[in-house]
Amino acid sequence: MNPVLEKISHLIPDRLYIELRFRERMHKKLNLRNPQTYSEKLQWLKLYYHNPILIKLVDKADVKSWVSEQIGEEYIIPTIGVWDSFDEIDFSTLPNQFVLKCTHDSGGIYIVPDKTKFEIDKAREKLVPRLKTSYYWHTREWPYKYVKPRIIAEKFMVDESGYELKDYKFFCFDGKVKFLFIATDRGAVDKETKFDFYDENFNHLPFKNGHENSDHELKCPMGFEEMKRLASILSVGFPEVRIDFYDINGKVYFGEMTFFHWGGMMPFEPEEWDLVFGNQIKLPKKIRN
């Protein structure tokens, strides 16, 4: 981020900040009067679609009860505990494997596959600073302004690889699943994260967004149709939402709901795919809080 913009960001109104940040990240002027691309429409939704339910749905702890009501508790990764601060956690009571996440941001995660090798100071170093910051200020994703910072511990899960848990992230538009991407090599020491995009029939799409494609072919997961069905149910009534799932040998688990993929500020390569995605969003009436 431009250091000057970062320094005064808390003093700038949402619309002006978004316009300035969009120009910086996307290298073009933001069109809010007649948005056409996916990136532009996400900025419009940030400013003018303040549906209060989104506050609950972006909270990694609170969303579980809502999702359970919609599709069933069997799709929820078990919660071990939720705490307001890192020092409240009694690690002696936690199982040998677990995952720590901040409930209010993106990327605040610490995986513990073996508690006998757990380095508590490293976990503290990563998570405590995040509890003191609001994710809202990064790209003005308004629901995060109202989410209470907490830490949640969840059951440790791995997929058929035996070493990772691939994300299957479905782009949905008012109950219709149109695209998805698979995130692989996340957390790998010697590899960069890979994103591979597909259409709703699992045909690989020829573009990049944020990360390179994988260097090998990815198989369609066993629970693909089930994940599509569940994503369709959960996305009804929302003009746009990305719903993430995990597939563990055909058993599907809910991950999270994201209403502003990359904050709407990550270029598509080639650029025309930004419009392809944008054409799927029908902007709703304005809702301001």
**Quick one: tokens of 17?**
């900040």
| Cis, bond preceding 270 (omega within 30 deg of 0) | yes
Distance CA 242, CA 42 (A): 12
Q: Do residues 146 and 73 lie in contact, with contact meaning Cβ atoms separated by under 8 Å?
A: no
Distance CA 147, CA 103 (A): 8
Largest CA-CA distance found in the chain, in angstroms, rounded: 56
Per-residue pLDDT of the chain (289 residues; tens, 9 = 90+): 677 777 788 899 999 999 999 999 999 999 999 999 999 999 999 999 999 999 999 999 999 999 999 999 999 999 999 999 999 999 999 999 999 999 999 889 999 999 999 999 999 999 999 999 999 998 999 999 999 999 999 999 887 766 667 889 999 999 999 999 998 887 656 678 899 999 999 999 999 999 999 988 999 999 999 999 999 999 999 999 999 999 988 899 999 999 999 999 999 999 999 999 999 999 999 987 6
241 Cβ neighbours under 8 A, 6+ residues apart? 172, 234, 235, 257, 258, 259
- Helix (H) or strand (E) holding 139, with range, is helix 136-139
Amino acid occupying residue 104: H
Distance CA 127, CA 91 (A): 15
Q: Which domains does the chain possess?
A: 31-76+158-289 (3.30.470), 78-156 (no CATH)
Distance CA 144, CA 105 (A): 8
Strands 176-184 and 194-199: antiparallel
Helices (H), 49-94: 53-57, 63-71
Distance CA 272, CA 72 (A): 38
Q: What is the pTM of this model?
A: 0.93
Residue 271, pLDDT score: 97
For residue 172, which of 231, 249, 111 has the smallest C-alpha distance? 231
Residue 187, pLDDT score: 61
Q: Do residues 30 and 36 lie in contact, with contact meaning Cβ atoms separated by under 8 Å?
A: no
Residue 189, pLDDT score: 61
